[in-house]
Amino acid sequence: MKRKIAVVMAAAVAMSGCSTMVTYSGKANAPVQTIKYTQGVGSVIEKNEVQEIFMYPTFKMQGPTMPTFTIGYANNAGEPVNFTTDNVKAYFRGQPVPIYTYTERVAEIKSEKQSQQIALAIVGGLAAGAAAYGASHRTYQSNYNGYVAGRGGVTSLYGANTVRVYDPLAGIVAGAAVGGATGLGIQQLEFNAQNQEQAANSILQANTVDPLHMVSGELILKGCCDPYAQANDTIRFEVTANGKTSVFEFERTKVASR
């Protein structure tokens, strides 16, 4: 049983190893676009007679997968415009990349939470069983030595006695301690998932943007990208609204492990 626990825990450590962080830098298409910086983060801005669009990396540093960008859209035309993730297409190294919808992201968070809780419960059950068995089955060993005098002279005596004691109460206490820790871990996963769902609320959803109004939200790329730097590490967005398509590009400028 101890061997099974060691294997499971080793796999968990391997999966949680060091992480890679990347940064993105906007590439403005002059003179149509400009870049403005806030706290070191550059926003790519494009404005024309019917609309204004801006985009920037949501975080200064991100993981190599699921890069997140913030987009803002202002309607300068005379009619309302529906603006959703359907208005945006994304590409990485020239290949199309899907963009999460709100419902897709929340469903994924719930699925991941359930899988992690089940895995933790299994590992916790194995650990609790091992702890209970070890605590309830204890071995005590005593050594002895001496001598006996007889007709043939003096005979030395030495050896060891082994006594195995079964204590079910100790096993129950030890198993409950590990099980309680597992329960706290499952609660923490629940709490983390709730925070992720709250963060998902910032994903760009369907909006009707009236004239002289604007909307903003996050774009999270799905199944993108890898941590290996290449010459063409560029994420390209094509944003279509009011019959016009605007192109925004962000180059992955730094890859670092921690």
Residue 71 scores a pLDDT above 90: yes
Sheet arrangement for strand 244-257 = 20-27, 244-257, 234-241, 88-92, 95-97
Task: Find the radius of gyration of the CA atoms of the chain.
Answer: 31
What pairs with residue 22 in β-bridges? 62, 255
The residue assigned the tokens 């030890």 is 174
Confidence (pLDDT) at 174: 43
Q: Which pLDDT score, from 0 to 100, does residue 88 have?
A: 97
Average pLDDT on 163-179 reads 46
The string of DSSP letters for 207-241 reads EEE-TTEEEEEEEEBSS---S---TT-EEEEEEEE
Question: Which has more pLDDT, 230 or 161?
Answer: 230
Q: Please give the average per-residue pLDDT across 141-158, as a whole number.
A: 52
The Cα–Cα gap between 44 and 226 comes to 24
Quote the pLDDT of residue 186. Answer: 59
DSSP annotation of 86 reads: G
Given pLDDT bands bounded at 50, 70 and 90, which one contains residue 63?
A: confident
> What φ, ψ does residue 231 adopt, rounded to 5°?
-65, -30
Q: Is the pLDDT of residue 225 over 80?
A: yes
Q: How far is CA 66 from the centre of its chain?
A: 10
For the segment 35-46, the average pLDDT, to the nearest whole number, is 92
- For position 205, what pLDDT does the model report? 92
| Whole-structure pTM value | 0.65
For the chain, domains (ranges, CATH) are 18-101+203-257 (2.60.40), 107-197 (no CATH)
Give me the pLDDT at residue 69, please.
95
Say what the pLDDT of residue 1 is.
43
- pLDDT tens digits for range 99-134: 999 888 888 878 776 676 666 566 555 444 444 445
Least confident window among 76-85, 183-192, 204-213:
183-192
Residue of higher predicted confidence among 157 and 223: 223
